[in-house]
Structure formats: C-alpha cells, structure tokens
Structure 1
Amino acid sequence: MEYENEEFEDETFKDSDLADESFRNTKFIECFFDNCRLSNVDLNNCRLQDVRFTDCKIVGLDFSKCNDFVLSIGFENCYLSYCIFSDMDLENTDFTGCQVQDCDFVNTGLKNANFEDSDLINSLFRNTNMSHASFRNARNYSIDPNNNFLKQTKFSVPEVLSLLSVYDIVIE
C-alpha cells in the first residue's frame, strides 16, 4: 500500500507492519493504529489529527517533523523508543501505560499531558512545560525540577523522590 502524499480519514490500521514506510506529506485524520509496528517511518510534513496508537511498537520516529497544524496524537500501552518529541506542543497528549524509552522531550509543551503508569527510562526532559501533567504511577523518569516547569504536576510516592536526584543529598 502506498502512504506518501495520501489522505486517510477515519481509517483503522490493525496488525500492520509499517516499518520503513514514508508518510511524507500524508494526512491521517481521526485514524486509529492498533497493534502496529512503526519503525523508521518518515514523518516529514505528515499531518496527524486525532490519531490514536494502541499496543503499537514505535521506534525511531521523529514526530517533530510532523505538520503541527491541529496536531493531536495519543498513545496507550505502546512501546516508544528513540522517538523525538522535541520543540512540539503536546498539550493534553496521552502516553498512558507506555514504555517511553530513550525519547527526547526538549523544549516540549506537555501541559496536561498524561504519563500515568508509564516507564520513562532514559527519556530526556529539558526545558519542558509539565504544568498540570500527570506522572502518577510512572517510573524510571529523570526530571530536573530546575530545568523544567512543574506547576501542579502530579507524581506518586516513592518515585517522586527521583526529583531530588539532581541535588547532592542523602535520603535515608
């Protein structure tokens, strides 16, 4: 199937292997990806409007190359690795129950984002606005409160203690 320069509306992609495909200049409007494999997909000028990913394996995607006009995405129970979300406005975006490994969130707007029940091992958060975001029951995150905006951000105990790791202190 050809994806480049196409438009898909209200489509469901289920159990699809989309590795190394090109979504360049493609529009996905109100689409759903269920149990798909998306590795090294070219997202240059791709438009993602009300697109949801569930139980997908997503590796090496640079979401910052997407067209930001009405960008709206969400992830549930996905494995995301080596993805770039830097310099994006991801307000109200869900990353629930996901493994978010080695992903970049630099200069990212994450206001009201939801990372509940996610594993954020080795993901980079720098100069992000995480106000009102939820990290309840999230784990393995490394967030420097000096380099991110955390107003009313929600965390769970004991993982919230990791916010103190940037300080040279001993917690007993």
Structure 2
Amino acid sequence: MEYHNEEFEEESFKDIDFADESFKNTKFIDCSFDNCKLSNVDLNNSRLQDVRFMNCKIVGLDFSKCNNFIFSIGFENCYLSYCIFSDMDMENTDFIDCQVYDCDFVNTGLKNTNFEGSNLTNSLFRNTNMSGASFRNAKNYNIDPNNNFLKKTKFSIPEVISLLSVYDIEID
C-alpha cells in the first residue's frame, strides 16, 4: 500500500511494520497507530492532526519535518528512540509511560506536556518551555533549569534531585 501523497481520516493502523516507508505529503487526521513499527519513516510535509500512537516502536523519525498546521500527536506505552522534536510546538502532548531514548527536544514548546511514567534516558532538553508540564514518576531525565523554562512544572521525588546535577554539588 502507498502511504505518500495520501489522506487518511479516522483510520486505525494495527500491527503494521512501516519501516522505511514514506509518509511524505500525507495527511493523517484523527488516526491511531497501535502496536506498529515506524523506523526511518519519511515525514516530510506530512500532516499529523489528532494522531495517537499506542504500544508502537518508533525509531529515527524527524517529527520537525512535519507540517506544523494543527499538529497534534500523543504517545502511550511507546518506545521512541533517536527521534527529533526540535523547533516544534508540542503543547499538551502526551508521552505517557513511554521509553523516550536519545530524542532531541531543542527549542521545543512543551507547555503542559505530559511525560508521566516515562523513561527519558539520554534525551536532550535545551531552550524548551516546560511550564505546566508533568514529569511525575518519570525517570532518567537530564534537564538543566538554567537552559529551560520550568514554571509550575511537576516532578516527583527522588528523581527531581537530578535537576541539581548541573550545579556540581554534593547531597547527602
């Protein structure tokens, strides 16, 4: 099946391997991906509006190449690795109970974004607006409070102590 230059509305994609597919110039509106594999998918000028990813393995996707008009996505129980979310507005996005490894969030608007229960190993957060975001029960995040906006951002103990790592201090 061809996925580039297409339009999908209210479609459910389940148990599909999309490795190396092209979603170039494709519109996905009110769609869901469940238990799918998306590796090295070309997202150039794709439109993702109210798209949910559940139980998916997502590797090497550059979401910053998507059309940003009404861009809205969410992830639940997903494995994301080497994905780029830089220079995007991702306000109110869910990353619930996800493995978010080696992903880039540089110059990203993450206002009210939900990372609850996620593992953020080696993900890069720089110059992001995380006001109102939730990192409750999230772990392995490395966030420099000097290089990110954290007003009313929610964290859990003991992981919140990692915010002090940039200060090279000793805590007993």
Scaled by the length of structure 1, the TM-score of the pair is 1.00
The answer for the alignment partner of 2:133 in structure 1 is 133
5+ residue gaps in structure 2?
none
Instruction: Tell me the alpha carbon deviations over residues 5-41 of structure 1, each in whole angstroms, 9 at most, x when there is no partner.
Output: 0000000000000000000000000000000000000
Displacement after TM superposition at 1:168 (Å): 1.4
Helix, strand or coil: the match of 2:68?
Answer: coil
Displacement after TM superposition at 1:55 (Å): 0.1
Q: What letter is aligned with 2:3?
A: Y
5+ residue gaps in structure 1?
none
Q: Identity rate of aligned residues, in percent?
A: 82
Query: Over the residues paired in the alignment, what is the CA RMSD in angstroms?
Result: 0.2
State the 4+ residue runs in structure 1 displaced beyond 6 angstroms.
none
The answer for the alignment partner of 1:29 in structure 2 is 29
Instruction: Tell me the alpha carbon deviations over residues 50-80 of structure 1, each in whole angstroms, 9 at most, x when there is no partner.
Output: 0000000000000000000000000000000
Q: Distance in 2 between matches of 1:126 and 1:117?
A: 21
In the TM superposition, 1:2-81 aligns within 5 A as 2-81=2-81
Q: Distance in 2 between matches of 1:160 and 1:4?
A: 42
The answer for the alignment partner of 2:121 in structure 1 is 121
Scaled by the length of structure 2, the TM-score of the pair is 1.00
Q: Distance in 1 between matches of 2:160 and 2:168?
A: 16
Q: Distance in 1 between matches of 2:18 and 2:41?
A: 7
In the TM superposition, 1:97-108 aligns within 5 A as 97-108=97-108
